[in-house]
Structure formats: C-alpha cells, structure tokens
Amino acid sequence: MAGNRVMLVEDEDGVRLLLRKIIEKQDGFEIVCESAGFSDAIVQFRRLLPDVVFMDIGIQGESGVECARIMTEIAPKTKIIFATAHAEYMPEAFELYAFDYLVKPFDVARVEKTLSRIGEQGSLEPEKEPERISRTKKGLSRLLVKGRESMCFVDMADILLVQRENGATVIYTAKDSFVTSAKMGEIEAKLDPELFLRSHKSYIINLSRIRRIEPYGRWTYVVTFQDTDRDALMTQEKYEEVKRRFS
C-alpha cells in the first residue's frame, strides 16, 4: 500500500522540526514539503497534492483556516490536521470538517494516535481527469449538460454524486463523469431533495445508492456507493439527518 504524503504548514521552525521527527518515525508516512507562509503553501499544495496537511492556525499573521479552506476546494479529501496553541479556534476547524485538531505544546502520543488513525484508512487515490463540459441546465427528470458542440442528457436517478474538485464541479454516474462550470448550489437546486442530499460543502450524494457510511475524521464520515469505487464525505450534522430520514 502506498504511503501517506504529508505537508507541514507551520511558521515556527522548532514546531516543524518536532512534527517532522514524530512523523518520520511512523511507517507509511513521507513528508513531501514544508511551508512557513500562506501563499507558498497554496502553491506547493497545488503542485504536490499531499494526502495529509498539518496546518498551523496562524501562519505569519494570516489565517491557516482560510488556507485549509482553499486546499479543500482543490482536493476535498485531503486530511487537514489543525495545530494551534489556542483551543478557542476549534469551532472554525469544526466548520471546515478537519480530520483532527491538535493543541500546542504537542503530546507526542496524541500526534502518533492521529497518524495511526490515518494509516488505518490508507492514502488517497489520485482522481482521473474527467471530460470537459461548460455548464448544466435543467430538463424534466434529467440534467442537460451542454458542451461547445454537443449536449448530453443525464438521468437524475443515474447520478451517484456531484463533487467539487480542482475548481470545477463534476457529475458522476456509474459509468461516466461530466465537468461543468455550474456551482454546487445551482445543481443542488435542480435535483430532487427527496433523493439527493448536500452531504458536505464539496459533495451532493444520491441517497438511494449509498452502500455504507463510516467514520473518516473526528467530525466527518466517508460514504461509499453501489456500483462504483468512488466515495464522498459527510458531516456529522448530515449523518444525523440521514439517520432520521431512514429511521
């Protein structure tokens, strides 16, 4: 199994050194880059797309939460682990669906426990580049996805999930995928709310095609579907909503 590729975003040299030493002792983890600044962190993240990011809440006076928000727009399944000396920032981390939250000074055993949980789940598989399409429209029980010189009708019941990735929106069926410039909210408004659920800021899922829901992070779940190896994320709030719907 491939190892987890780790990025450290921390403006204190001593803290980065401590994290590096802890992580390098764990099997299945490789530190691929380190950054001490907001802009540099985004550039390196886009280039390397690491599986795990240890993120300081404050980076040279800028917001680590906002930095992580940009990263999860690029790659929603990246495991973000916030690190800070101030526990009061935890609600912001909760809103971003962080994998975990560590308070400085670090307890080595606590960091090792977080890494162990990640190791049990394995590293993220790279996403394939889907077909390019310009936008979506609504058409009865179908979505009309228009390209420059073509149109494709997608039955809503065939849609497994809609995902925000790499700055675009991708519609997935069991056999096809379609990239659109439409925002998640636009597509959500066109789908049947009895059949589809906005499970996470970056995902809309077809409730009738769910196979399993399992814990992913401290406040997040991973959803697997029938007829595909793709998966999606779900927040604690939406998890409780699904339980109510099917009870």
- 109 near 80, Cβ under 8 Å? no
Counting runs of H as helices and runs of E as strands, what totals does the chain give?
7, 18
Q: In a structure prediction context, what are the per-residue pLDDT tens digits for the chain, which is 247 residues long? A: 458 999 999 998 988 999 999 999 988 999 999 999 999 999 999 999 999 999 998 888 888 888 988 898 888 889 999 887 766 656 655 556 678 888 888 888 888 888 988 887 654 444 433 333 333 334 347 777 765 556 778 888 899 999 988 778 889 998 888 888 788 888 888 888 999 999 998 999 999 999 999 988 778 899 999 888 899 999 989 999 999 988 8
Count CB-CB contacts under 10 A for residue 188: 15
Under DSSP, is residue 243 helix (H, G, I), strand (E, B) or coil? helix
4-121 and 135-245 have identical folds: no
Q: What is the pLDDT of residue 133?
A: 30
CATH architecture classification, 135-245: Beta Barrel (2.40)
Domain 4-121 has CATH 2.40.10.10: no
Sorted by where each begins, the domain ranges of the chain are 4-121, 135-245
